[in-house]
């Protein structure tokens, strides 16, 4: 069984997203004995990118520049993007094309068969989460994410589990690591050979199992504080830049 995490971020392209570099994330993943990892850097098709141009940068650059390093640590790095649409986000796994050719959520139907489309944290209470739009566009998705970010009495994954069962879609466990401490609590075991084709096929065939243990309360609290601080500072920056359009970029 392969130990995999399809959803993580680095500071390589969008430095404000994380504090860790690609090498630091790979090193930590190697320590935790991961076999498969994705840097799913963001690409944004909403107005947010007008205020933060880094979300229009090539999201695959971290994959290209660090796949050899990952391989040297025994990790298969799979190219991926977390694309943000007005309806919500989609994780594109084994995506190697030009993301600008998929500017709407509907355009994902034109993706090659080799790309896995996963709904990340679909029922979390943020505007980038798909929510009801997931069921509306369910035919575009191959799998649904089970996020690491939950507590026993506060688990926003429950609806995702229900929908996955209802639609016979696989669930994959991920860290969405913006911080190293997020890695390794929730991940996916895949019954596949260690090559991308075999992994994509195994996920589609639901040959996957989630391993998940809840975050320590201290880590959950720390992540929640960082998350809200980042969200409010982004809103503040957008408010300032709206007032001074010339200050953008």
Using CB under 5 A as the binding criterion, the count of chain residues that bind Zn ion stands at 2
- Nearer Cβ to Zn ion (87/176): 176
Query: In terms of C-beta density within 10 A (0-12 exposed, 13-18 middle, 19 or more buried), how is residue 192 classed?
Result: buried
Rounded Cα distance, 113 and 5, in Å: 21
Which of the ranges 75-83, 129-137, 159-167, 226-234 carries the binding residues for Zn ion, by CB under 5 A?
75-83
Of 222 and 241, CB closest to Zn ion = 222
Min dist CB 151 to Zn ion, Å, is 20
Residue 82 sits in the site that holds Zn ion (CB under 5 A) = yes
Closest approach of Zn ion to the CB of residue 41, in Å? 9
Q: Shortest gap between Cβ of 40 and Zn ion (angstroms)?
A: 6
Query: Site residues for Zn ion, window 110-139 (CB under 5 A)?
Result: none
* Binding positions for Zn ion, 164-193, rule CB under 5 A: 176
Nearest residue to 92 (alpha-carbon basis) of 51, 54, 41, 132: 41
- Which spans in the chain are helix H? 22-31, 48-51, 61-72, 132-136, 158-167, 196-204, 217-243
Nearest to 130 by CA among 101, 163, 153: 163
Residues that bind Zn ion in the complex, under the rule CB under 5 A: 82, 176
């Amino acid at each position: 069984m392969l130990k995999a995490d399809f959803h993580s971020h680095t500071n390589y392209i969008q430095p404000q997203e994380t504090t860790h570099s690609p090498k630091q994330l790979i090193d930590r993943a190697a320590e935790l004995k991961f076999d498969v990892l994705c840097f799913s850097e963001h690409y944004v098709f909403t107005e947010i990118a007008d205020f933060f141009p880094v979300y229009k940068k090539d999201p695959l650059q971290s994959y290209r520049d660090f796949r050899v390093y990952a391989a040297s640590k025994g990790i298969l790095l799979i190219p991926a993007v977390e694309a943000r649409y007005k309806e919500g986000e989609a994780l594109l796994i084994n995506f190697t094309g030009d993301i600008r050719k998929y500017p709407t959520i509907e355009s994902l139907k034109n993706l090659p068969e080799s790309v896995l489309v996963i709904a990340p944290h679909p029922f979390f209470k943020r505007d980038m989460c798909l929510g009801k739009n997931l069921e509306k566009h369910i035919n575009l998705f191959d799998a649904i994410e089970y996020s690491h970010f939950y507590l026993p009495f506060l688990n926003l994954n429950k609806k995702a589990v229900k929908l996955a069962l209802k639609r016979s879609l696989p669930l994959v466990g991920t860290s969405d690591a913006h911080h190293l401490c997020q890695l390794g609590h929730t991940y996916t075991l895949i019954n596949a050979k260690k090559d991308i084709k075999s992994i994509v096929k195994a996920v589609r065939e639901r040959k996957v199992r989630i391993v998940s243990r809840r975050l320590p309360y201290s880590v959950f609290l720390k992540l929640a504080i960082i998350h809200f601080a980042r969200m409010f500072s982004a809103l503040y920056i957008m408010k300032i830049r709206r007032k001074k359009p010339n200050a953008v970029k």
